[in-house]
Amino acid sequence: MADTGGIRNEGLTENPSPDVQVFPSPEEVARAAARLFVDYAWQSIAKDGRFMVALSGGNTPRLMFEVLASDQFRAQVDWAKVHVFWGDERAVPPTNAESNYGMARRELLIRVPIPEANVHRMEAEKASIGRAAHEYEEALRKYLPLDDRGFPQFHLILLGMGNDGHTASLFPGPRVTRQTSRWVSTPTVTKLNMRRMTLTLPVLDAAMRVVFLVVGADKAQILHEVLEEKHDPPYPAQLVQPRHRGVKLFLVDKAAAAKLTNAVAEKAALKDKPAAAGRDKTGKNT
């Protein structure tokens, strides 16, 4: 059975229902995500000698990065053995406020002792974003092992979810498909009139663990639909189904969980106590 690093998992089937954990506030969601990051890093480094993670943008990941960079958490990770990638990126330079990499760098990467060579950003601002996507595929090929279908396999992919059910830069519509050999695509987001770079659905599915961070009352309706309804075509967040008995976990706050039915809410079980700090220097949970 897949390990969730201290967060309960009911066991996954070929088409699993994701596990859901509800916390009182966005800050507690961020602390829970940081603790999972620490636990997964320990497990992955112990097993494979390194921890390969794809980060996401957004306010909740920003809070999680702040927690990871704090004195309480920073020393709990062997950063020299961590490689960070991104699930998606906007076609903006890293200095732009909209850059997912730029936010992660400001809030986390310059505050922890991770080697610069272990940071692999999507250079989506290049004149040829298609060429940049090909180069990113080459970076994935260089550093990541492949699963049995030939897709790169992360230890952890962090994801958010939009009000329309999109995740990474996979937006609702017929083009979100597993029938692709591409690892990285460059969709045009019509409503935003912007190109983006994103990992494809088969790469998300290949991950050992996929963790969604969803907070706020404005996400309550879409979270209910994604977790409890069938949509035709399915929302991208519904389509993500980790293979290899992988973990699919939603960490959400009470406001986002407001419209979940009793059955889902009871399974989720509101976490009233603050998330633990992580591990001490001996590797024990604190």
In the chain the domains, ranked by start, together with CATH numbers, are: 22-268 (3.40.50.1360)
Q: Dump pLDDT digits (tens) for 20-68.
A: 999 999 999 999 999 999 999 999 999 999 999 999 998 899 999 999 9
* Residue 275 confidence class, pLDDT cut points 50, 70, 90: very low
Say which residues have a Cβ less than 8 Å from residue 100's Cβ, sequence separation at least 6. Answer: 55, 56, 57, 86, 88, 89, 90, 122
E-only strand ranges, the chain: 19-23, 51-55, 82-86, 88-90, 156-159, 184-185, 188-189, 194-199, 209-214, 247-253
**Cβ neighbours, 10 Å, residue 181:** 9
Average pLDDT over residues 83-101: 96
The per-type count for the chain, helices as H runs and strands as E runs, is: 9, 10
pLDDT of 7 reads 29
Q: Please state the pTM of the whole predicted model.
A: 0.87
Q: Dump pLDDT digits (tens) for 158-178.
A: 999 999 999 999 998 766 666
pLDDT of 227 reads 95
Average pLDDT over residues 94-100: 95
Average pLDDT over residues 69-85: 97
Say which residues have a Cβ less than 8 Å from residue 82's Cβ, sequence separation at least 6. Answer: 41, 50, 51, 53, 114, 118
Residue 126 has pLDDT above 70, yes or no: yes
* CA atoms of 68 and 86, how far apart (whole Å): 17
Say which residues have a Cβ less than 8 Å from residue 276's Cβ, sequence separation at least 6. Answer: 6, 35, 285, 286
